[in-house]
Structure 1
Amino acid sequence: MKRFLIICVLLSGLAHGGAPKQDLSTRLQPTVFAVTMVMIHDVVNPPAASRFYAYCLLGAHEIVAQQQKTVVSPTRLARDFGKIELDATKPYDYQIAALYCILETGRLILPSGSMLEEEETKFLEEVRTKNYSEPIIQQSVLMAQAVAKKIMAYAAADNYSKLSARLRYRPTKADGYWYPTPPGYIEAIEPHWKTIRPMLLDSCGQFKPKPPVAFSKDTTSTFYKLAYNVYQVGRTLTPEQRFIASYWDCNPFAINTSGHMSIGFKKISPGGHWMNITSIAVSKAKLSFDKAVMVHSLVAMTLMDAFISCWDEKYRSNRIRPETAINRYINPRWQPLLQTPPFPEYTSGHSVISTAAAELLTYLIGTDFSFTDTTETIFELPERKFASFRQAAEEAAISRLYGGIHYRDAIENGQLQGKAIGTFIVDKLKKAGVASAF
């Protein structure tokens, strides 16, 4: 009997390339980050970035789920996503296939996706040093390519391709409504994003927040007090508050002006920041490859849906930004610490998506899970320690007040909106059998 078990183990190893299967968990973070770097290069806006992450991880999630029964398939979670039939007649390694699928989907879906071809080549060279046979590697690549094509077909039906055909958005010049802000006076970003098919939510308006405080020029009104609060906070920022605002800026394209010269700085998106936090967390928690892929995929889908929900409200309430209101009615020379993003104010995007992501990560990884966030070190900002995901989300939310780009009600109601989204998704995961990663 003992000899029989040894033979079975050896045969299992041969099925994965002539050597016992190796855990490629450490390769997941750099693979996802390679996709992030292309998005930074392309200056992908925040909602679109979340969509790209979701699809890049979806195929890998399904490949893993079909090999490991402990991982719940995204077919049980994502809307209209049917099972992908995988050709398993030839042996392949599902971890190689899953990682390559992330890169291949990114190559196909991102504007400058061709930049990932070099990363694909590098990845395969690395795999060859791990004693996998060439037939196994090649079959794994073919599997990844086939799944990536299926993912692209699924993505093609989410209404993204119809956005450019919609009527061009024209800002309302009346008092109280959003209008392009300096220094770039950039047009509204993704005004029709609510038409994108959600992944886990039922609809874009499922978690519609309560209406924002009504606009008013009256100096005794609640709105005026909200605007004055942003003005006052901006004038008395502590060094720590300034740092927090800059740390969570996450503006994909910040414009710096000096005289007649304008210089653009590319940064990571809010969703990209939370995807990297996810990578840091699964690494610290020492999750298996299978669970790490699943967690990344679920966070990506949550971010995508949180942006859809937030953007639905942004262009419904269409509220004026603090910079515009303060310049018109309080102090024409006041400037926010951060560059005002080019879309309406209510609710705060970072508050919504950070809170939703934190709720999901808290369920999957832990309530009091401390971690060191190194996401911003590539932008010459120091690492930052957090005692929990919720603490990080709280800081991300309040950073928008310090930055001078959101009123308090947009932050607080955005957090409530994100909490509702996160709670709904966690309940959905529980019903589908997705347990905590521990």
Structure 2
Amino acid sequence: MRWLALCCPPDAPAGDRDALAWLALGFTPRVARLEEAVVAEVSASLRLFRGARALRQRLQHEAAQAGLALGAVAWAPTALAALALARCPQPPCAGPPGARLDALPLPALTAARAHHAMLARLGCTRLGELRRLPRAALARRFGPALLAALDQAYGERPEAHDWLTLPERFDARLELPWRVAHAPVLLHFAEALLRQLCAFLAARQAGVRALRLAWRHDAMRPRDAADGGELTVATADTTRDLRRLSRLLGEHLARTPLAAPAGEIRVSADTLLPLAAPSASLLPGGHEPQERSACHALLERLSVRLGAGQVREGRLHEDHRLEHMQRWQAWPAPPAPAAAVRRPPGPQPTWLVEPPQPLRCDAREQPLLAGPLVRVSGPHRVEAGWWDGGAHMRDYFVYRSATRGLLWLYRERLPADAAGWFLHGVFA
């Protein structure tokens, strides 16, 4: 058997150990909590991850992506031995496993730590020296638990563990160490729960498009204040990027008032969506998913800062009238229907001019706008509107202006009293 012991740094939040355990479940189903560490039996996973070194590097990479700091990491044939090696700042690196354990100090084993003072007076300071003492006398003097722990560490007695399992949904709470009166301060404590969420999603090979942050007001709240509040953070695509979720949550909290000081927060995610790890590409241009995700992250923050509906995106719409082939909706818009939408016959302007602006003409009946215009493409004739009483016949063109850029113009043919040139759109 091959056991891996994972320890969090001494100053890490208490929830980081749970996050580390969930992260380890993405590498092996045999994961358990053992005192202050997380132990994982990975002998069946070594071939899948191409060896112990590659598995450790992959685990460290996944932990960094989830915002988790790894402390000591140690390998051993048993879980107790791996924990004992991880507890020592400079464990012996050479020799068989038994010899490495023999060289460890007594406090490396929890069962021997309680008797350290007495054993030190006997001249016993290492696990190897403790193991060489007479077993019967050692059991009478210090109890059978010490011998049992020694045998389990050296692999002479089987170990029993309660294996961890992943819950179906994520729901974690945190009691705040003090009363928080301003919502942006909640982000500092919510990041600990977000790290747990990202580790949970990594083990599930999943992501989220929405998460919920709820808080409860403390007992000293005003009478007119509710028990708590909540907000929902939505993303444009499926993600488990800790930095992206944290920055987006911070944008929401910066604009959220608290009716009373908060004493507890909770982060939950009910709907999990499949999210495979991005695959590397040997060909140029393989970074399109990462670039799209970065663009979505920027648009998410802008939509929170500017307000709902201020960030918009264009969607093609089935209509043969050119000005109705594109509709702008609040971003992110709902998914487009599966049915194919006919593409417009030419470029669509970024902005429509409503109502269309009439233009002057020169002696040759050519449009003018801040000077002469140069035709780029056209005409494209459209005859429509008879069903709603607005029948017209238009010839659409793309013109270039030296001062205004690309313009979308049309020449009205029908009705006769409205004939002329009009500015109908502007290309960004």
The structure showing larger relative contact order (alpha-carbon pairs under 8 Å, at least 6 residues apart) is: 1
Greater share of strand residues, 1 or 2? Answer: 2
Establish whether TM, by shorter chain, passes 0.5: no
Greater share of helix residues, 1 or 2? Answer: 1
TM-score, length of structure 1 as denominator length: 0.23
Decide which structure has the larger Cα Rg and report it.
Answer: 2
